[in-house]
Amino acid sequence: QMQLQESGPGLVKPSATLSLTCIVSGGSITSDTYYWGWIRQPPGKGLQWIGSVYYSASTVYNPSFKSRATMSVDTSKNQFSLSLNSVTAADTAVYFCARVMIVVLEGGDFIDLWGQGMLVTVSS
Amino acid sequence: QSVLTQPPSASGTPGQRVTISCSGSSSNIGSNTVNWYQQLPGRAPTLLMFRNSLRPSGVPDRFSGSKSGTSAALAISGLQSEDETDYYCAAWDDSLNGVVFGGGTKLTVL
């Protein structure tokens, strides 16, 4: 059964770059059934979609992140990554990586599997 | 400010039926299916309902989902103490080209 696991620094300084990696185990990242996404949840708040990346390295980002976000995929390591630059305290959140199921029929793709999440705190 | 609108809280007594609503717009719920997630404290969300009313394996049939127009609802019948947690609705948004979420509903079992 596939599992996702986030890794990276838990503390990032203001104006620096937040970098996280999601390791995919129990299955291949090069699937035509899924692609991969990042979502965050500020403390005590709701969920926010950051963007997605296909194994082909094609990406789509939430405009709210105004080109601060960059996603990539490393098929040789079966993992994908998120970088978010120029961070501020408002970027403090639990960051989740996720698997997004492709829906061939009408209805829209959806997240069917989440990583456990990683708290990233932006502070000097 | 979440794109989808959910009540911040809901409550019921054991055995009761509770409904959580989720409202959106034509670019998300109006043109795509709705998915629901359950999030236990300190844990990642898990898929509870997909494509409006389908339950993943292992989800009890006490949980049901529906959609009409730009709104959706999650119903929980035979409420149990273990159901006390947070619930989020989500849907694909054609304008964002991504997933949008509700703000979450905290369910309390009295």
Residues B88, A114: C-beta atoms closer than 8 Å: no
Who wins on pLDDT, B10 or B42? B10
Our CA-based measurement puts residue A77 at a distance from the nearest CA of chain B, in whole angstroms, of 24
**Model confidence at A118, in pLDDT bands (50, 70, 90)?**
very high
Closest Cα to residue B86, out of B20, B14, B24?
B20
Q: Say how far apart CA B73 and CA A93 lie, in whole Å.
A: 28
Predicted confidence at residue A66, as pLDDT, reads: 72
A93 touches chain B (CB under 8 A): no
pLDDT digits 0-9 by tens, B72-109 = 999 999 999 999 999 999 999 999 999 999 999 999 99
CB atoms within 10 A of CB A57: 12
Amino acid in position A52? S
SS3 B84: coil
Torsion angle of the four alpha carbons B66, B105, A37, B34, in this order, in degrees rounded to the nearest 10: 10
A43 touches chain B (CB under 8 A): no
Q: What is the mean pLDDT of residues A57-66?
A: 90
Amino acid in position A8? G
A114 CB neighbours in chain B (<8 A) are 44-46
Q: In this complex, which of A63, A106, A117 lies closest to B44 when CB atoms are compared?
A: A117
Q: Say how far apart CA B70 and CA B22 lie, in whole Å.
A: 9
Residues B104, A117: C-beta atoms closer than 8 Å: no
Tokens representing residue A8 in the block? 């990276």
Q: Say how far apart CA A23 and CA A79 lie, in whole Å.
A: 5
A45 CB neighbours in chain B (<8 A) are 103
Who wins on pLDDT, A66 or A102? A102
Residues in chain A: 124
With tokens 């394996």, the residue in question is: B57
Which of B36, B39, B86, B97 should we substitute to test contact with A (largest number of A Cβ atoms within 10 Å)?
A: B97
**Model confidence at B71, in pLDDT bands (50, 70, 90)?**
very high
pLDDT digits 0-9 by tens, A91-110 = 999 999 999 999 887 778 99
Helices (H), A36-92: none
Q: Which residues of B touch A (CB under 8 A)?
A: 2, 31-33, 35, 37, 43-47, 50-51, 56, 88, 90-92, 94, 96-104
Predicted confidence at residue B68, as pLDDT, reads: 97
Predicted confidence at residue A51, as pLDDT, reads: 96
Tokens representing residue B96 in the block? 């964002």
Our CA-based measurement puts residue A92 at a distance from the nearest CA of chain B, in whole angstroms, of 16
Contact A59, A51 (CB under 8 A): yes
Please, what is the end-to-end C-alpha distance for chain A in angstroms?
Answer: 39
Residues B46, A49: C-beta atoms closer than 8 Å: no
The sign one gets for the Cα dihedral B1, B29, B34, A97 is negative
- Phi and psi for B81 in degrees, rounded to 5? -60, -30
Contact A95, A38 (CB under 8 A): yes
The sign one gets for the Cα dihedral B47, B70, A41, B110 is negative
Predicted confidence at residue B10, as pLDDT, reads: 98
